[in-house]
Amino acid sequence: MNRTYELMFIVRPDMVEEDLDKLIATLQSGVQASGGAIKSVDKMGKRRLAYTVRKFHDGLYILMVVEGGGAIMHELERRLRVTEPVIKFLTVRIDEEQKRLDKIKQLRDSRKKVSAQPAAAAPATAPAEAPAPAAETPATA
Amino acid sequence: MAEETRTPSTDRPAGDGPRSGGDRPPSRFGGRSGPGGPPREGGRKFFRRKKVCKFCVEKIENINYKDYRMLGQFVAESGKIVPRRLTGVCSPHQHRLSNAIKQARNIALLPFAGRAS
């Protein structure tokens, strides 16, 4: 069961950079131990929250892309919940959506090709088809 | 007879549309100030531009909760999701849009109520 999840979480703004790195490292080791993989970690920096969360007005946003099954995410969420500096998190499954986007992209590319080709392809196929019946008719006759 | 009574009633919502959907000032003001005289003599003196789905026109397929600036266009001052009769977004895209807005709210990128401070 391999799925891709996007995990965004907010830590309190007064957290030291080193502590944050340590937290990310522990999460990473935890995920790896249970057979998953963290594809990327993106620290999006400090941002003003749209509403107060645990009396904080700002937060440090971190975005992770995690690969693995649901059990791994469950464990990861549990871990975030008990980690005191983490004030909010959101997990979104992205592989299905990505599949859909790829499909649309493929469809658009193929349409582009069709619209671009006929100028070159249509004359090439037309002469190729034309001699074929001509060649067949003497054979049958 | 029944058809005659029906036609004005179908015309009326079309006339009411721009008034409630006053999201596009240019077309509205153009219609009002254009004739110069009283705004509605014959009933329909104003011109309403056909609304189009932003996502269909610009071919944006990826409606993501992280893109809060884009989502902000479809959230009213009060924090509400703007209905698609005002914005012109098509049904499948509005569905994705509303999901994305709700996700963004959950992670404090957009407010539940009131404007983002």
Q: In this model, does residue A101 exceed pLDDT 50?
A: yes
So what's the pLDDT on residue B59?
A: 85
Q: In this model, does residue B117 exceed pLDDT 70?
A: no
Structural domain boundaries in chain A: 3-97
| The one-letter amino acid at A28 | Q
- Contacts with B, A 5-64, CB within 8 Å: 8, 10, 48-51, 53, 57, 59, 63
| The one-letter amino acid at B100 | A
Q: Strand, helix or coil at B113?
A: coil
What ipTM was assigned to the predicted interfaces of this complex? Answer: 0.71
* Location of structure tokens 């088809």: A129
Which residues belong to CATH 4.10.640.10 in chain B? 54-106
Cα–Cα dist A81/A74, whole Å: 11
Calculate the dihedral angle through the C-alpha atoms of B79, B83, B88, B91, rounding to the nearest 10 degrees: 120
Q: In this model, does residue A90 exceed pLDDT 60?
A: yes
For the domain made up of B54-106, the CATH class stated in words is few secondary structures
Q: B108 at the A interface (CB within 8 A)?
A: yes
Which residue among B59, B61, B116 sits closest to A50, beta carbon to beta carbon?
Answer: B116
Where is A93: in which H helix or E strand? strand A86-93
Find the closest chain B residue to A44 by CA distance.
Answer: B66
| The one-letter amino acid at A32 | Q
List, in order, residues 6 or more apart from B60 with CB less than 8 Å away.
B54
**Distances from the Cα of B21 to the Cα of A79, A107, A138, angstroms:** 47, 35, 71
Strands in A37-53's sheet, in edge-to-edge order, are A37-53, A56-68, A3-11, A86-93
Contact between B65 and A92 using a beta-carbon 8 Å cutoff:
yes
* pTM for this prediction: 0.66
| The one-letter amino acid at B46 | F
Q: B61 at the A interface (CB within 8 A)?
A: yes
Per-residue exposure over A27-50, b if at least 16 CB sit within 10 Å of its own CB, e if not: bbeebeeeebebeebeeeeeeebb
Rg of chain A's alpha carbons, rounded to an integer? 27
Are A23 and A74 in contact, with CB atoms under 8 Å apart? no
Are A92 and A28 in contact, with CB atoms under 8 Å apart? no
* Location of structure tokens 């069709």: A114
So what's the pLDDT on residue B102?
A: 92
**Which 3-state string (H, E, C) describes A111-123?**
HHHHHHCHHHHHH
Contact between A50 and B111 using a beta-carbon 8 Å cutoff:
yes
Find the closest chain B residue to A108 by CA distance.
Answer: B59
Percent of chain A with pLDDT over 90: 26
Q: A101 at the B interface (CB within 8 A)?
A: yes
For the domain made up of A3-97, the CATH class stated in words is alpha beta
pLDDT, one tens digit per residue, over B28-58 is 443 344 344 455 556 666 777 777 888 888 8
CA of A76 vs chain B CAs: smallest distance (Å): 17
User: Burial, A83: exposed, middle or buried (Cβ in 10 Å; 0-12, 13-18, 19+)?
Assistant: middle
What is the mean pLDDT of the segment spanning B97-108?
Answer: 92
Contact between B108 and A89 using a beta-carbon 8 Å cutoff:
no
So what's the pLDDT on residue B30?
A: 39
